[in-house]
Copies of this chain bind each other. A is one copy, B any other.
């Protein structure tokens, strides 16, 4: 959902986005099928998928056999770094995006981090984004030789999930193509969200607050 809306924001800003997805050993590989659907719907012709087996690192319920927590209350969801945190995941993803951007001559990297996430994930916070931008200009030939800057665009940063749902409606993004659930059943083409994990709960609350109905299927 967040990636789909971020992509739409990039297009609305007049850019021609290249999309980058990761097959990183996540349990919910179903999200890659969703990414392909979203790219097709938004007319993105260059979608690349990088294989990157982060299970080699371990340490997260998203890649390991740690159980995804279900039915946690709102206070628990916001408290501390969740077990679904994949160590340095966004740093790794952004590093690859930086290399691709340098090769493509792109200088803006869009990502879907937002206010709800950054209460728990360290690598979703504004401080992280600024530190990465500082790194990017000394890490690249473009930055070092030609003084070019790379900008991270996080258009959802200050938005609640309800705000993202509203923005999706304004930008005509079909959220029925997306999947947020950490533990879906069904198939890649027709996933069924569990409704109980943190991601499902936050998503459902967002739709409820926006006064809209989530078009995806729940168990």
A99 adjacent to B139 (CB under 8 Å):
no
Residues in chain B near residue A102, CB distance under 8 A: 59, 87-88
A128 adjacent to B135 (CB under 8 Å):
yes
Residues in chain B near residue A98, CB distance under 8 A: 87-88, 91
Main secondary structure of the interface of A (DSSP, over half): helix
> A residues 82-100 with Cβ under 8 Å of B?
85-92, 94-96, 98-100
Q: What sequence of 0s and 1s flags, for each residue 127-142 of chain A, a beta carbon within 8 Å of any chain B beta carbon?
A: 1100110110011110
Residues in chain B near residue A50, CB distance under 8 A: 52-53, 56
In the complex, whether A189 has a CB less than 8 A from a CB of chain B is: no
In which size bucket is the chain A interface?
35 or more
How many copies, total? 2
B92 adjacent to A59 (CB under 8 Å):
no
In the complex, whether A11 has a CB less than 8 A from a CB of chain B is: no
Instruction: Tell me the complex Cα distance, A53–B96, Å.
Output: 10
Which chain B residue shows the least CB distance to A129?
B138
Given contacts A51-B51, A139-B122, contact A92 B87 (CB under 8 A): no
Given contacts A53-B50, A88-B102, A144-B122, contact A127 B131 (CB under 8 A): no
B80 adjacent to A88 (CB under 8 Å):
no
A138 adjacent to B131 (CB under 8 Å):
yes
Q: What sequence of 0s and 1s flags, for each residue 49-83 of chain A, a beta carbon within 8 Å of any chain B beta carbon?
A: 01111101111000000000000000000001100
Given contacts A134-B131, A143-B122, contact A95 B91 (CB under 8 A): yes
In the complex, whether A123 has a CB less than 8 A from a CB of chain B is: yes
Given contacts A95-B92, A122-B143, A145-B81, contact A100 B57 (CB under 8 A): yes
Top 6 closest A-B pairs, CB basis? A88-B99, A59-B103, A122-B144, A87-B99, A87-B102, A92-B95
Q: Can you report 14 A-B residue pairs in the complex whose CB atoms are below 8 A from each other? A: A50-B56, A56-B100, A57-B100, A59-B103, A80-B145, A81-B145, A87-B103, A88-B95, A92-B92, A92-B95, A92-B96, A94-B95, A122-B144, A134-B135
